[in-house]
Amino acid sequence: MLSPESLKKIDREIAKYPPDQKQSASMSALRIAQEERGWLANETIEFVAEYLGMPAIAVYEVASFYNMYDLAPVGAKKIVVCTNLPCALSGGVHAAEYIKKKLGIDFNETTADGLFTLKEGECMGACGDAPVLLVNNHQMCSWMTEEKIDQLLADLKK
Amino acid sequence: MTVQGIILSPDLDGDRTWRIGDYVKRGGYDALKKIIADKIPADQIIGEVKKSALRGRGGAGFPTGLKWSFMPRAFPGAKYLACNSDEGEPGTFKDRDILRYNPHTVIEGMIIAGYAMGCERGYNYIHGEIFEVYERFEEALQEARDAGLLGKNILGSDFSFELYAHHGYGAYICGEETALLESIEGKKGQPRFKPPFPASFGLYGKPTTINNTETFASIPFIIREGGDAFLALGKPNNGGTKLFSVSGHVNKPGNFEIPLGTPFSTLLEMAGGVRGGRKLKAVIPGGSSAPVLPGSVMMDCTMDYDSISKAGSMLGSGAVIVMDESTCMVKALERLSYFYFEESCGQCTPCREGTGWLYRVVHRIENGLGRPDDLDLLNSVTTNIMGRTICALGDAASMPVQSFVKHFGEEFAFHIEHKKCLVPKDVQHEGSKIYVA
């Protein structure tokens, strides 16, 4: 189900916790699984559960509680824009509107070619860098002017 | 960098000086080496932290030395340490800079804390959205292990301490300390009922102490230079420097590390003043959960726990959100209320249902559908949430509502009566355009 590389990464996470507390690695195991599979299907969650010796429902609870896990397919590039108050005061909402216009989609939609999904995010802890976007959960983009958004979208299309 | 402090010290050079070699050159790990070489007793370390008047930097401002003394050191078996780097309180972005520019100061602070409280293992819980910071922290941990500063028999002593990074994945509530522990245990981050407090029943049911990133980052200086030296940087009962994250309508948003007790007007000046020469309208001085204060009140405050508390708000995490005259206060509150509604973990009914009520009522006022008794309704919802939930998120959702209505009530009344904003839409639009310093 998951590649040997992913399993090796998960094993490294398990080793961080006391031997009888393997379930502590559930969050990182789900993250690693999502990196490989793009999103978390029920079978993927069940696989992670079995690997960690946990009931599937316990892992599903984790996957559905934290909002960076995707329980449904998303575009190849998921863009999350922070529109919370500090970002909004420095153009977070404008940046989101600009991306919507450029991609022709609204929040929680995916472009027809399956390339981009756009989401509205909550505080990323980078308010001084507003407007801030997060690409595929891991790449934070700071001070996103319209020009920089154009450049980013062009780069992501490559 | 514009900071002049002991954590983000002037000799840091952004992304280029975070490695262990650079840290050691700055006097890093001297405090730990001194403790090990001189076999300094744990009580003496805790005494020094008490003397420094260091108060928890995560938001509650609880005296750190006192918290450390709650740990039952003689308790047999595992004891744990946790660092709260789950920084998701709107307006707060200081821990991210500490972790990416000076990660070893947090590591050293945690090792010293582990020594003082007899902990065998620690975890640093890092906010989900800052993955690059998490990866760097992992690298810094490996550097410390390779240098014999972490792991078994640190620096040849009989003290052993393991430290790991745990990566969050998007839940504001995990900044609440018991939710954070649940999350490290691989569960939904839902806060626990207290008591028992983590010092007696924490991670995996063992005694645990949780401190904020900036709190740990202050420890090496306190041990190296002494608690008195730290205290002298601030003012009585408010020891040390503090990082303030300034965001919103300023010319130069960013982190500023200044002595506690510095006038707000000085901090505003450091952040380049109000953007576009517009007039200061309101300030949230301690992160989105802290009550908002009118600009004129803030201009008379100094930035420390006591002064901000006297003015009717909280220093909180030190996140200063500046709003100028182009801001519609109803719209600002609407966005914050949506945040708490979205982030309520759903465990306690008053918070789960109440945050939804708060958001929906503020939303309808903002959108011209407010009813004459809506302000009373908001007030009644907040009083039915506050003090009736397991954790402080319910209070955190209520305090903005109460304070916005208290200080800017006429703006809310205008919306309800005239079905539109007091601040013209084009002025709002102009004021919140994409702005990059």
> Taking Cα atoms as reference points, which of B242, B266, B246, B262 lies closest to residue B254?
B246
Going from the C-alpha of A5 to that of each of A16, A24, A30, A63, A70, the distances in angstroms are: 18, 20, 14, 21, 21
Which residues in chain A touch residue B247, judged by CB atoms under 8 angstroms apart?
86, 89-90, 127-128, 130
Phi then psi dihedrals of residue B102, to 5 deg: -145, 55
Cβ neighbours of residue B16 under 8 Å, at least 6 residues apart?
none
Average pLDDT by consecutive 10-residue portion of chain B (437 residues)? 69 92 96 97 97 92 96 91 97 97 98 97 97 97 98 96 97 97 98 96 97 97 96 87 96 95 96 96 96 97 94 95 98 98 97 98 97 97 97 97 98 97 96 91
Rounded CA-CA distance B284/B396 in Å is 13
- Asked whether B127 and A122 are in contact (CB, 8 A), the reply is no
- Asked whether B339 and B90 are in contact (CB, 8 A), the reply is yes
**What pLDDT, on the 0 to 100 scale, is given for residue B4?**
56
Instruction: Give how far B185 is from chain A: nearest CA, Å.
Output: 5
Record: contact A89-B130, CB cut-off 8 A: no
Token pair for B403 = 């304070």
Token pair for B236 = 């009585």
Instruction: Give how far A60 is from chain B: nearest CA, Å.
Output: 10
Reported pTM:
0.96
- Asked whether B128 and B169 are in contact (CB, 8 A), the reply is yes
- Asked whether A133 and A145 are in contact (CB, 8 A), the reply is no
Give tens-digit pLDDT for B45-77. Answer: 999 999 999 999 998 889 999 999 999 988 889
Minimum-distance CB partner of A134 among B129, B166, B434? B129
One-letter amino acid identity for B421? C
Record: contact A122-B172, CB cut-off 8 A: yes
B219: left (phi over 0), alpha (psi -120 to 50) or beta: alpha
Give tens-digit pLDDT for A98-140. Answer: 999 999 999 999 999 999 999 999 999 999 999 999 999 999 9
Average pLDDT over residues A18-33: 98
Rounded CA-CA distance B284/B401 in Å is 12
From the DSSP assignment, how many helices (H) and strands (E) are in chain B?
A: 19, 11
Q: Which of B335, B339, B425 to mutate to test the interface with A (most CBs of A within 10 A)?
A: B335
Which residues in chain B touch residue A91, judged by CB atoms under 8 angstroms apart?
432-435
- B102 interfacial to chain A (CB closer than 8 Å): no
Across chain B, which distance is largest between two alpha carbons, in Å? 74
Record: contact B253-A90, CB cut-off 8 A: yes
What would the DSSP string read from start to end of A49-76?
HHHHT--HHHHHHHHHHSTTS-SS---S
Minimum-distance CB partner of B128 among A26, A52, A68? A68
